[in-house]
Chains A and B, each alone.
Chain A
């Protein structure tokens, strides 16, 4: 990314913080009430205090462990079940209908189920995180697998490839771009649900801490919690995004996209030098010297 774009993005965040600071510092009450809001500086001071303590890091570790476990389970099972449902009529009949009925239930509404099912809170929270991320991954995988170009599979089968070869060499790599869409959405809802579940029934964890701070009216603490959640969500979704782009780097990109992501050589006046055509191509027929316009033509299909 160019320096100008990094500056622009940083500026956008700083601008938002400045608006918050001004609204809170001058206790603006104009229908929306900012009079009780902690300012950015108060929140930052509190953030600093917490970073120095052990409790903050313990909470962070708890939440990250929960989301990593739940999300990893959801990713693996979501891809597996989504692929099975898309590829096998039997799986579609047996697994499809029950899942379609459970799917509309918000994961956080499964808290009572989790309490009944699991011996401890910990497993329950992981279960809810899993349930939240599972369905987006499942649905994205199912669609991606169904949308695969049939001729890819036919090609591998006529090479003598069996079911597993088709699965590993065609279905999974071909569905990856779609699967990563589901993983991004799944990670987002997984964060929502892990924090909510912690607020309801957690011991430790960022969500638990944020709710505790609210009950003891520690507003800067609440804002530290929210900032933590926001930063964690942003960092993890960026990681999934970067991984996804790397895994699907074979996808054709538009020329515009390539120009944006690759650093192009710049000359004074911010313009890349125009590429010169060879002289012979500029003046067809003139001074061909054995490398006339024909040399510029594609030589496809001219075996040597």
Chain B
């Protein structure tokens, strides 16, 4: 094993090179059907920004635009000050729906971004296995996506996105289809997996508690405001008055009644 392999297998990849993503006065949507107009958003390098908003407010459109899959209808999108032109490997997208290739084993799915980047077979296998181990899927590496559970598929998607060492990870309600217990486990897993990667994360969700638990800041897409989330990141923090006030505010922005 060479020294590079050891570095690849290390639990923490401190690159500290998260992308800064900036939208200025942006118009998002499909041509002829704008969904969001006049959006300003500044995602700091290495932060985890959660995005909440009512259904149909354009959360997925926002992520697809940041990924470069949808062109802007107006305004500007920059990464580290430069223009974004089309999708690229430094901005990974984790989909809400099952986006694993069904004819590839979990391992081969995780290897795919590495193959695209031109890694040699042995190196990409080692790195894929490392990431599968981190998400607890070593025993399922040879299975096909339809042979594992929905939670295991989402864990594979996470491993696939992070294995390519992206500088930004865009997550579109990745745990939306999972049951509550699995979802809580996935949130902890995500925090662990991201630790030390330095990647900027934009995480779209309709679950307010998920947004507050994961986010450094919460963007309320309906109102255009971005609010900081008090730390430490802890579920018990809901008892904290500042967090409770923030939670009420987020819920209000969704048009929901806050819990009594």
Which residues of A are interface residues toward B (Cβ below 8 A)? 151-152, 154-161, 165, 169-170, 173-174, 248, 250-252, 298, 300-304
Contact = CB atoms under 8 A, between A and B. Distances in A.
Interface residues on B, range: 35 or more
Nearest to B135: A303
A155 B185 CA distance: 24
A300 B68 CA distance: 32
A301 B152 CA distance: 8
A245 B240 CA distance: 59
B208 interface: no
A152 B69 CA distance: 13
A159 B188 contact: no
A142 B117 CA distance: 30
Nearest to A302: B185
B12 to A, nearest CB: 15
23 contacts: A152-B101, A154-B67, A155-B100, A155-B101, A156-B112, A158-B67, A158-B89, A159-B92, A159-B116, A160-B116, A161-B116, A173-B103, A174-B103, A300-B151, A300-B152, A300-B182, A301-B151, A301-B182, A301-B184, A301-B185, A302-B185, A303-B185, A303-B188
A303 B91 contact: no
A155 B93 contact: yes
Interface in B102-157: 102-104, 112-113, 116-117, 134-136, 144, 146, 149, 151-152, 155
B245 interface: no
Interface string B141-183: 0001010010110010000000010000000000000100111
Given A151-B97, A300-B182, A303-B188, 15 more contacts: A151-B98, A155-B95, A156-B112, A157-B87, A158-B91, A159-B89, A159-B164, A160-B117, A161-B116, A169-B112, A173-B101, A301-B185, A302-B185, A303-B185, A303-B192
B252 interface: no
Interface of B: 64, 67-69, 86-93, 95, 97-104, 112-113, 116-117, 134-136, 144, 146, 149, 151-152, 155, 164, 178, 181-186, 188-189, 192
Contacts of A165: 116
Contacts of A298: 149, 151, 182
Nearest to B96: A151
Contacts of B104: 250
Contact of A158 (B87, B103, B155): B87
A155 B110 CA distance: 12
